[in-house]
Structure 1
């Protein structure tokens, strides 16, 4: 895999290559195919070169125009697998944020070991209702999706019940930066930090904090979650990405271990959290004076 290329890119490129092969076999130029489908001239090239993801209708019309209707179902299956890997938020959240939380719950049931690294936000499974409410409000603002914040918060809190299941293990590593970022009001963040204090003492939850003065082994580029050894999930502004390729799983497991190795735990982690709580409380006192 080349630098900057993910399995999602590779899958989209592979799909484009298969569609190009059908066009060539039908002895059609890109321009001829586009004209027969009443498409802009650039659309065929974009799809074939992995620059644009085709829709179900695009696949059906392409196979029809190239006399390859028998290939349609196989190509649609490839497309739907690609959509699962690269789940755009506008599509994922069109039924509401609660619906997405329930979808995640289905995968929760089969997962026994969670590993989560976060560099900017508190992981969803550790959020207080107030912190989660603020985060969901930001989702509504950014993505213009249905406002079902109350239902989404309740669904997230229900998901957190699995933290107390004895057959599951959780390993969270967060950066000190995530404790400082002003993503929620100060009073909400103080409550969230208090929640982290309590979580750090749970039997089947391991919580590590990487302090500002810690020397990293590798850069904290973005947050991600590993579900057992079968899935890596992380979020971009536009989509939720789900990676399943063995080499990707191995890479992210290694990165998690690098971050986990330099984190502070137990009393040392609580010292960092407590220091941030004191700073926030002092600011709140000053603003209220």
Structure 2
């Protein structure tokens, strides 16, 4: 669970405790028909309150006028932390459309990604494998082709003036076998082409580079007004200046360790060479096994 999300639950719990006042947890639980443990968990931020819970609490504590305030608090918490389960209930396409709105609103976009190629630079085939993997993970509707088309259309922004895309990736992302070798090969070609775009500045942090802080989860910064951070359970939409400032400092720190231009080309070429070597080896091994089997049969 994200630190921001947990802090928000704990802040709500403190407010619930204030509203309870001198009434004991046991007495409030009896009034609401709840186990006392539920009252305790809500007050300590160990359980997320539903809108019905908050209405009941405000009424049971004798402060029905506070229900609207409590609902606003939870709505803000849910807006900041967008669980994948909820977001993907209608498939991946709506998520892509929501992101496109933020891209179109922004002039300066910065990204960090350590595990895979960023979506704005993905080929359709590469994106198809990414969406397929996540659809299986989250057991979401498999609108793969619609999601691929939405992501590909968003890439048109790369060719329009008025925006800059400052993208940093870890070298590991070039080697991650999240797709077949031929798809990854074409994806590496795509990265080479992206380096030549005047709207894109692509940096790659070498695996052996000295870094001031450990590379963490992938995130995008939109004009420093919004950070969208990817976690396994949720996407975090963070818009308070203090927190977005942290992500900007993280991005600046990683950018200092990145190589650009010729250096980035060299790392992509190294990834391609390793891919070709392993691909060739995988095609030779079955033939060797077949020959060995044939000799064994003699």
| TM-score, length-scaled by structure 2 | 0.90
**Aligned alpha-carbon RMSD (Å):** 1.6
Q: Distance in 2 between matches of 1:35 and 1:144?
A: 39
CA offset at residue 282 of structure 1? 2.4
Q: Distance in 2 between matches of 1:159 and 1:69?
A: 46
Partner of 1:257: 252
Native 8 Å contact 1:231 1:244 kept in 2? yes
User: Which of 153, 165, 172 is the matching residue for 1:170?
Assistant: 165
User: Which of 3, 8, 24 is the matching residue for 2:5?
Assistant: 8
Structure 1 pair 91–249 and aligned structure 2 pair: CA distance change class (3 A): same
1:88-122 deviations in Å (ceiling 9; x for gaps): 11111112110111111122221111110111111
Q: Does 1:121 align with 2:116?
A: yes
Partner of 1:195: 190
| Alignment gaps of 5+ in structure 1 | none
Q: Distance in 2 between matches of 1:158 and 1:33?
A: 54
5 Å-filtered alignment, 1:207-226, equals 207-226=202-221
Structure 1 pair 146–37 and aligned structure 2 pair: CA distance change class (3 A): farther
1:184-228 deviations in Å (ceiling 9; x for gaps): 222211111111110011001000011122111221122211111
Q: Distance in 2 between matches of 1:197 and 1:247?
A: 35
1:2-29 deviations in Å (ceiling 9; x for gaps): xx973332222111111111122xx432
| Alignment gaps of 5+ in structure 2 | 285-298
1:237-271 deviations in Å (ceiling 9; x for gaps): 11111222222222211111111112110121011
CA offset at residue 288 of structure 1? 2.7
User: Which of 34, 39, 44 is the matching residue for 1:39?
Assistant: 34
Secondary structure in 2 matching 1:94: helix
Structure 1 pair 19–258 and aligned structure 2 pair: CA distance change class (3 A): same
Partner of 2:18: 21
Q: Does 1:267 align with 2:239?
A: no
Q: Does 1:84 align with 2:74?
A: no
Q: Does 1:55 align with 2:50?
A: yes
| TM-score, length-scaled by structure 1 | 0.93
Q: Distance in 2 between matches of 1:74 and 1:280?
A: 56
Alignment length (residue pairs): 284
Structure 1 pair 34–170 and aligned structure 2 pair: CA distance change class (3 A): same
